[in-house]
Amino acid sequence: MDAVQAFVEQWAESPDGNRQGFIRLQELLTNLEGVEVSFHPRPGVTYSLRGAVSGTNRPLFVMIDVIEDEPRWLSVCFFGDMIQDPDQLGAEVPGGLLGEDALCFDLDTCTETSVAYVAERIKEAHRSALSG
């Protein structure tokens, strides 16, 4: 995960809190039981952190993308059938995650509330992956 650390270190703090939000979600992901985390940088486009549980029928349960824009923002996507969205904050994206229907949360600004909500969805998707 040296590449993730190098990426985070070169990302300057900004008022939107997106760097800190990414760090918080990354720490959650790396501390979940049985999770394999991979990093897929596409400089100039996205920097993607993917969480997977080996031995399951899907290659990942969450994808946390840093969208290369000014300022950078986060898009956190799940397979649509792995989580609930009780506050209806996500956007349904047909075929949006590896060709399957997805539910994505775009965080232009990472607030305590928005990051906590998405963190709960990550935990829910993780439980779903473990049971599936």
- Which DSSP symbol is given to 76? E
- In sequence order, the β-bridge partners of residue 93 are 102
When comparing pLDDT for 57 and 19, which is higher? 19
111: confidence class by pLDDT, cuts 50, 70, 90: very high
User: Could you tell me the sign of the dihedral formed by the alpha carbons of 130, 61, 16, 42, in that order?
Assistant: positive
What is the rounded average pLDDT of the residues 6-35?
95
> How would you class 118 by CB atoms within 10 Å of its CB: exposed for 0-12, middle for 13-18, buried for 19 or more?
buried
CATH number given to 2-131: 3.90.1150
Residue matched to tokens 């995650």: 97
Q: Has residue 57 got a pLDDT over 90?
A: no
Tell me the whole-structure pTM to 2 decimals.
0.95
Put the strands of the sheet holding 91-97 in their side by side order. Answer: 35-42, 46-53, 62-67, 73-79, 100-107, 91-97
